[in-house]
Amino acid sequence: MARLLVLVNSVVLLLFGSDMFLVGANRPPAPVNVSVMHLRADSVTVSWDVPEGDIIIGFSISQQRQDGHMQRFIREVNTTSRSCVLWDLEEETDYIIQVQSIGLYGESQASKKVHFRTLKKTDRFPSNSSNQDDPTVQGLDKSRHLQTGEMIIIVVVLVMWAAVIALFCRQYDIIKDNDSSNNKEKAKPSSERSTPEHHSGGLLRSKFHPSVPSINIIEV
């Protein structure tokens, strides 16, 4: 009976050990060439490489301050990205990051530790050609282009409205002048008809006015 129990335990340990060996053998290798770029006071971009020949479906990043306080743990799957932007960092603070690859059979070992220190808010990030590849810089450029386009559209609309208002005022003045001229022309004939004159130049007498009798003087 004791021998049977020992045999069963040996088989279980052998099967469990083989499964662990297979799982460990199928895990992806740890990321290499882990580096930081586009360092700022409150953000940084982490990039890494993955050895070829392994199926990688995601990554995980552990971020902590150098004093040992765990700050963040990021995990993302169903992606082939080899970079990640870390936000909400504290200025002039030392951080330590490690990256792991996620495969079909689990996660890889953690990469080598990478140390970096954030900048001051007053420090300006040096501009170079590599900034154009940063998704944060691209987002800022797009927002600036959108703001410039919106301002141009607003200025064009305002100019068009000003032109329409000026044209309306001009048409209103012309119509007002025409109305005043017509009123003057209508008023002039009516005043002339109020004092009609005879064709010989004298004023017409009313036919109802009694005639003045003539007086003949006879000399003796």
Q: Burial code of 18-33, b = ≥16 C-beta within 10 A, e = fewer?
A: eeeeeeeeebbebbee
Of the pLDDT bands very low, low, confident and very high (cuts 50, 70, 90), residue 207 is very low
Q: Does some domain include residue 35?
A: yes
* 82 pLDDT more than 90: yes
Q: Does some domain include residue 170?
A: no
CATH number, domain with residue 64: 2.60.40.10
Contact status, residue 83 vs residue 46, Cβ threshold 8 Å: yes
Contact status, residue 84 vs residue 105, Cβ threshold 8 Å: no
Contacts of 118 (CB under 8 A, 6+ apart): 39, 40, 41, 42, 44, 89, 90, 91, 92, 93, 95
Report the mean per-residue pLDDT for the chain. Answer: 75
Q: Does some domain include residue 141?
A: no
**Most confident option among 58-72, 74-88, 114-128:** 74-88
Of the pLDDT bands very low, low, confident and very high (cuts 50, 70, 90), residue 57 is very high
Three-class SS string for the chain? CHHHHHHHHHHHHHHHHHHHHHHHHHCCCCCEEEEEECCCCCCEEEEEECCCCCCEEEEEEEEEECCCCEEEEEEEECCCCCEEEECCCCCCCEEEEEEEEEECCEECCCCCCEEEECCCCCCCCCCCHHHHHCHHHHHHHHHHHHHHHHHHHHHHHHHHHHHHHHHHHHHHHHHHHHHHHHHHHHHHHHHHHCCCECCCCCECCCCCCCCCCCCCCCCC
Range of the domain at 51: 25-117
Looking at per-residue confidence, does 141 or 62 come out higher? 62
pLDDT of residue 144: 54
Q: Does some domain include residue 211?
A: no
Of the pLDDT bands very low, low, confident and very high (cuts 50, 70, 90), residue 189 is low
Place of tokens 């064009």: 156
Of the pLDDT bands very low, low, confident and very high (cuts 50, 70, 90), residue 58 is very high
% residues pLDDT > 70 (the chain): 60
- Nearest CA among 38, 30, 32 for reference residue 87: 38
pLDDT of residue 6: 53
Q: Does some domain include residue 54?
A: yes
Q: Does some domain include residue 98?
A: yes
pLDDT digits 0-9 by tens, 86-103:
999 999 999 999 999 999
Looking at per-residue confidence, does 144 or 220 come out higher? 144
Q: Does some domain include residue 46?
A: yes
Q: Which of 13-27, 46-60, 153-167 has the lowest mean pLDDT?
A: 13-27
pLDDT digits 0-9 by tens, 144-177:
555 677 788 898 999 998 999 998 898 888 888 8
In total, how many domains does the chain have?
1
Q: Which of 18-22, 143-147, 199-203, 209-213 has the lowest mean pLDDT?
A: 18-22
Q: Does some domain include residue 40?
A: yes
